């Protein structure tokens, strides 16, 4: 799908990539095979963003709650993440996409952090777009960490409480430097945000599909963008004819 003058393309799309495990179980496969298939979907979606001129894409790849999964599954997911980073570095370079990561990155295995640092360093100067992976990410923990950082500054006498406003608070979130998402997509049909970008997505448009993430196609992504283009964003105000 090519961008048309009539199409109002979001600047920032955030996606809750849900349904990998169910996709695998429906086919009698181990859950990790669903995650592998989902990694290929990431490649398709990143390419579609490039084609449509979407500047920012944020993917909910691993939540803080996901640490509660079986140790073997977490190990497989971390290895898959390292493989993904290695395989897609060339694509990121070709498309001039910068890689970014948000979350409690220090909780990831050392070999994953090394791969992340390498790819982020090699793509740091890319200007065409930004791919952000939310890894070991939880929005509540992010908000608490921001509040704690501000409290420390107040206690140290570096900041007056009355100086704290929304802009200053946002400057202490993991997503500092990123615009708020315009569109949040969730696959697998679940109707919840699951602790994803709760502050940042306050006025984002929501689009939910029953399609499981490995089956999420370029065509369905394009349909989501077309639906977004038809919506009117009022941000609490009124639209006058």
Positions marked active-site = 18, 66
9 contacts 54 by C-beta, under 8 angstroms:
yes
Spatial distance between the Cα atoms of 162 and 154, rounded to a whole number of angstroms = 10
Sheet with 205-208, edge to edge strand ranges = 97-102, 129-137, 56-63, 12-16, 183-186, 205-208
Buried b (16+ CB within 10 A) or exposed e, 185-199: bbbbeeeebebbbeb
| The two structure tokens encoding residue 129 | 């777009």
Distances (CA, A) of 105 to 100, 112, 115, 134: 11, 9, 12, 9
- The three-point CA angle 15-20-26 to 5° equals 140
157 contacts 123 by C-beta, under 8 angstroms:
no
Nearest to 31 by CA among 61, 60, 69: 69
Nearest to 185 by CA among 5, 2, 54: 54
């Amino acid at each position: 799908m090519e961008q048309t003058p009539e199409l109002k393309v979001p600047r920032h799309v955030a996606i809750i990539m849900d349904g990998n495990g169910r996709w695998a179980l429906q086919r009698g496969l181990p859950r990790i095979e669903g995650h592998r298939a989902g990694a290929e979907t990431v490649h398709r979606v990143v390419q579609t963003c490039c084609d449509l001129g979407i500047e920012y894409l944020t993917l909910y790849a691993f939540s803080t709650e996901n640490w509660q999964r079986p140790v073997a599954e977490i190990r497989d997911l971390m290895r898959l993440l390292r493989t993904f980073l290695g395989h897609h570095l060339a694509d990121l370079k070709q498309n001039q996409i910068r890689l970014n990561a948000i979350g409690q990155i220090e909780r990831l295995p050392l070999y994953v952090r090394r791969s992340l640092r390498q790819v982020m360093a090699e793509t740091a100067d890319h200007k065409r777009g930004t791919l952000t992976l939310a890894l070991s990410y939880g929005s509540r923990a992010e908000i608490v960490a921001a509040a704690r950082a501000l409290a420390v500054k107040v206690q140290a006498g570096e900041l007056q409480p009355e100086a704290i406003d929304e802009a200053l608070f946002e400057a202490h979130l993991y997503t500092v430097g990123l615009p708020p998402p315009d569109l949040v997509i969730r696959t697998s049909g679940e109707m919840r945000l699951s602790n994803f970008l709760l502050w940042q997505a306050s006025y984002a448009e929501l689009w939910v599909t029953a399609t499981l993430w490995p089956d999420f196609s370029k065509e369905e992504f394009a349909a989501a963008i077309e639906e977004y283009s038809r919506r009117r964003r009022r941000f609490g105000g009124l639209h006058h004819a």
